[in-house]
Amino acid sequence: MSQNPGLSVSELTCERDERCLFRSLAFSLNSGEILQITGPNGSGKTTLMRVVAGLSLDFTGEVFWRGQPVADVRPEFHAALLYMGHLLGVKSTMTAEENLRWAMGLHRNDLSREEIWSALEKVKLAGFEDIPCYQLSAGQNRRVALARLFLARQPLWILDEPFTAIDKQGVAELEQLLVDHAKSGGMVMMTTHHEMSLNYDGFHQLVLGGGV
């Protein structure tokens, strides 16, 4: 473990419908690391992400943030966490800009309009800022959510299938963003079925499933 332990879990066990998804799982994620959780469908990747983020309560074991149990430091943990699940948290009746302002407004209150617009531009949504999200495609909605990454100051990113519905070039740009984030001391925990072509020392994989 490095001097600045970020996220670590120990003895994590989770059962669903009398089926063991993972048992006595332990890993740690430190500054500058990217952890990809892989495994076949139904192997518990999303469940693991939700357990670590604190959304799922149905598990045994312990999750630590900076060496302390998450339950004891929940506000600090939430302030440091950016979570993106299967559900994007993008409201269809609101515009891309409003959605982004809200999602980041929960974490930051110093957002300028220029920052928001430039983040939307980076995810190729320039010109779509004030269009309600129900008029955008699935991939564009995903990009509205991904634009948060460009504004985030949280060190820990938990991303569940962030590349879904994103085109090839977009994926390459996102991979670069993740590496940049890790290089500047961030942490990324993610799942994807996409073949990651990261040329980065801090990139690790954790394989779930395959019969415990």
Partner 1 sequence: MSLSAGLGVILKRDLQLAFRNRGDLINPLVFFLLVASLFPLGVGPSSDVLLIMGGGVVWVSALLANLLAMDSLFRSDYEDGSLEQLMLSPTPLWMVAMTKVLAHWLVTGLPITLLAPVIAVMFGLPSQALPAVVMTLLLGTPMLSLIGAIGAGLTVGLRKGGILLSLLTLPLYIPVLILGTGAIDAAVNELPWHAHLMWQGVLVVLGVTFAPLAIGASLRVSVSG
Site of interaction with partner 1 (CB under 8 A): 53-58, 75, 78-79, 81, 83, 85-94, 98, 101-103, 105-109
Q: Which residue has the tokens 């073949």?
A: 195
Please give the structure tokens belonging to residue 185.
């001391």
- CB 141 to partner 1: min, Å: 10
- CB 200 to partner 1: min, Å: 26
**Which is nearer to partner 1, 51 or 179 (by Cβ)?**
51
Closest residue by Cα to residue 39 from 199, 193, 201, 181: 193
**Which is nearer to partner 1, 144 or 177 (by Cβ)?**
144
- CB 89 to partner 1: min, Å: 4
**Which is nearer to partner 1, 129 or 173 (by Cβ)?**
129
- CB 176 to partner 1: min, Å: 25
**Which is nearer to partner 1, 19 or 204 (by Cβ)?**
19
**Which is nearer to partner 1, 154 or 175 (by Cβ)?**
154
- CB 146 to partner 1: min, Å: 14
Residue 55: count of CB within 10 angstroms of its CB: 12
Determine the Cα angle at 96 with ends 90 and 99, to 5°: 45
Three-state SS annotation for the chain:
CCCCCCEEEEEEEEEECCEEEEEEEEEEECCCEEEEEECCCCCCHHHHHHHHHCCCCCCEEEEEECCEEHHHCHHHHHHHEEEECCCCCCCCCCEHHHHHHHHHHCCCCCCCHHHHHHHHHHCCCCCCCCCEHHHCCHHHHHHHHHHHHHHCCCCEEEEECCCCCCCHHHHHHHHHHHHHHHHCCCEEEEECCCCCCCCCCCEEEEECCCCC
- CB 111 to partner 1: min, Å: 10
**Which is nearer to partner 1, 60 or 92 (by Cβ)?**
92
